[in-house]
Amino acid sequence: MNNPLLSESELPQFEKISVEFIQPAIEKILLENRQEISKLENIDNSNWENFIQPLELLDDRLNKAWSPIRHLNSVKSSDELREAYNVCLPLISEYSTEIGQNKKLFNGYLRITKSENYKDLDSAQLKTLKDSLLYFKLGGVDLSGEDKKKYQAIQKRLTELTTSYENNLLDSTQSWELILNDDKRLKGLPDYALAMLKQYAEQKSLSGYRITLDMPCYIAVITYAEDRELRKQIYKAFSTRASNQGVTDQKWDNADNMVEILQKRQQKAQLLGFSDYADLSLQTKMAISYDEVVKFLDKLAEKSLATAHKDMQELKEFAKSERFEGELKAWDIAFFSEKLKQLKYEISDEDLKPYFSENLVVNGLFQIVEKLYKIIISEISNEVEKWHDDVRFFQIQDADGNICGKFYLDLYARNGKRGGAWMDECVGRYVINGKYQIPVAYLTCNLTPPIGDEPALFTHDEVITLFHEFGHGLHHMLTKVDVPEVSGINGVEWDAVELPSQFMENFCWQRDALNLFAKHYKTSEPLPDELYQKMIKAKNFQSSMQLVRQLEFSLFDMQLHKNTDINSEQDIQNILDAVRKKVAVIMPPSFNKFQNSFSHVFAGGYAAGYYSYKWAEVLSADAFSAFEEEGIFNQETGKRFLDCILSMGGSRPARESFKCFMGREPQIDALLRHNGIND
C-alpha cells in the first residue's frame, strides 16, 4: 500500500494516515534529505538557485509529512499514535541539530553573502540569509568536539522532556471526571451548561451529569456553581494537574520535567556563549535585553496594580454583602466576580450566548476580513479528507479571484484533543522553479460544542478566542512573500507574532462589526443596543486584575530563564512566590501548581517569551487605533495593514512593518485606554 505521508498530494490524506505509516515515512524522508544535503555540501559556487532553494524544498517535504502527524497527535491523541510520534521526535530532533551544526552548509550561506550576486537579492532573500546565519549560530555551528556532542545530547533530551511534559498534562487533564446522578449540586449553572454536562455523560453511555476539566466545562462550574465545595473540587483538580498535589495519578507529575528542562536550557545557553537562557531567547525577539523586558512589564504593573487591588477589595466587600463568611478563596473569585458584574452591569455570558451561534459568528468573522482586505472566503465540503466530522475546510480568494490560502477549522473541545487554541502551519507558501504553493493553516479551538439539536452557542470570550486564532491564520495565509523561511509567520520576531491575532480581537467589541454576526440564533434579532451598551460598560470589569495576572506569568517566565541555579521544584516555587508577592492581588492556595501546567513555557515556544502577549498587545492596540480614527471597515486602512504587516510576513523586521503602517514607533497609550487605565 502506498504511504499517504509520502504522497505529493496538495493536502494531507487524513483518512488514510494510520500509525504504521508514520515511522517508515519519516525515516525515508530523513534518509533521502541527508543524501541530498551531502551533495549540496560540495557546491563551491553556491547561489540562491543551486543551494538555498534545494534546501527549502527538502525542508518543505519533511514539513508536509510531519505536520499532519504533529497535528493528529494534538487533536486525536491515542496511545498508538503517541508511541509512533514519540519514536519519530528524536529522529527529527537529531536531524535538525545536524543541520544547525553543519559547517559546510553554514559556509555555503556565508559564500552567498560575499558573492557578486548578493546585491541582486530581494529583501526577503536578504532577511532569510540573515536569519539563517543566526539559526546556525544558535544551533551550535561554532561548537566542536565534546561541546558539540553535549549540545546534541541537550537538544535530544529537551525534545523528550517537553513532549513528556505535554503528555503528562493531557493525560492528567483527561483522566479526571466527576459523575453526578442528579443536578442537586449544580444549582446556579445556566441551562446550556446543564445540557452540556448531561451530553458529556451520554457520550460515555452514562446517566446524570459528567463534569470534566475541558475548558467550557471548567469555566461553567467555577463561574456559576453555588455549591462552594464543588467549585473547590474542580478548582483543585484543575490547578493541580500534572503535579503531586492533585487528585489524579502522580505518575503524571511534571516536577522533575520542569527542573530538568530549565537546567538543560541553561546548559544550552552557556554552551553557546550566553549568560543565561533569557539572553539566548531574546536573540530572536524585538526586545533587546532582559532589562528592557522587565522594565516594560514593571511599567504596566505600575499603571495597573493600584486599580487591581482596588478591584479585589471591591470584590471582597461584595462577597461579604452576599452573606459570604470567611476568607475569599481562589475558587470563589470567578463566582463572585460574575455575580458582581451582573449586579453592576446587569449582564452575564448567559445573556449574550444566544447572539453568538457558530455559523453566524464564523460568517460574520469572514465578512469582516472580506470587507477589510477584499478577499472572498468559501467553504469546500467535498473531496477534502478530515480527522473528525466536526472539522470544516475553507479557501480564500483575493480580489482577482486567485486562491491565496486554505484552512481547516476545528472548533470544539472533545476527548483526545489537547486544551487551548492555536494556529499551526499545514503547508507553507513558496514560489520555487515556477511552482506556487498555496499556504494552508490549521485553526484549532476548544469552544463549547453544540448541545442536542441546538447550534453551538459561544461566550463572548470564546468569540474573541476564535477571532484571535483567525488573525494568526490570516498572517500565515495572506502573505505575499515567496521565500518560505520568511513567508507568513516564519521569520517574525516572537514578541511581534501576536500582533495580527490580538488586532483581530478588537472587532469583537465594535458595534458595526457585531451587527454582522451578533444575532439571536432563533429569531435573527440583532444584539439589542441596551445589551450592547451593558457589554461595553462591563468590558473593563476587573481588567486590571486580569492584566496583573498576565504580568505574573510573564515575570515568572523571565525570571525562571534568567536564573541559572534551579535545582529543585521548590526553587521554581520560590521564584513564583516572589513574583506573586510583587504583582498578585490574591495568593493562591499552597496546593496550586500552576507551573506544572504552564505548557506555553515548558512545552511550547514561549520560554523567556511569554511577555510577548503584552508586548504585541501594545502594537495591536496602537495599530487598531488607526481604524478607530479612520473607520473600522476603511478599505484604504485595511489595505495598508494588509500591505505593511500581513502580506510582509517575516521578510523584514517587525518594527519596520509597524512603522510602515503607522508612520511612527509604537506607543503604549492605546493599550492603556483599551484596558480602562488612565496613563
Catalytic residue IDs: 469
Give every CB contact of residue 454 below 8 A, 6+ residues apart in sequence: 521
What is the greatest pairwise CA distance in the chain? 81
Q: How far apart are CA 443 and CA 424, in angstroms?
A: 7
Report the DSSP beta bridge partners of residue 378: 395
Nearest CA to 40 out of 28, 27, 50 is that of 50
Report the DSSP beta bridge partners of residue 441: 407, 425
115: DSSP letter:
S
Helices (H) and strands (E) in the chain, counts: 26, 9
CB 487 within 8 A of CB 649: yes
Q: How far apart are CA 550 and CA 529, in angstroms?
A: 32
CB 328 within 8 A of CB 216: no
402 CB-contact burial (10 Å; exposed 0-12 / middle 13-18 / buried 19+)? exposed
Nearest CA to 13 out of 62, 60, 61, 65 is that of 65
β-pairing, 422-427 vs 440-447, is antiparallel
- Alpha helices (H) in 523-568, listed in sequence order: 529-537, 543-562
> Is 304 in a helix, a strand, or coil?
helix
- Alpha helices (H) in 2-102, listed in sequence order: 19-40, 53-75, 79-100
CB 160 within 8 A of CB 85: no
- Alpha helices (H) in 253-289, listed in sequence order: 255-271, 277-281
CB 453 within 8 A of CB 395: no
Amino acid type, 438: I
- The beta-strand segments (E) located in 286-372 are none
Amino acid type, 279: D
β-pairing, 430-432 vs 435-437, is antiparallel
Residue located via cell numbers 499556504: 439
Question: b/e string for 596-607 if b means 16 or more Cβ within 10 A?
Answer: bbbbbbbbbebb
Give every CB contact of residue 314 below 8 A, 6+ residues apart in sequence: 340
Left (φ > 0), alpha (ψ -120 to 50) or beta: where does 208 sit? left
Give every CB contact of residue 80 below 8 A, 6+ residues apart in sequence: 19
The separation between CA 573 and the C-alpha centre of its own chain, rounded to angstroms, equals 25
Q: How far apart are CA 387 and CA 78, in angstroms?
A: 13
- Alpha helices (H) in 346-400, listed in sequence order: 349-352, 358-373
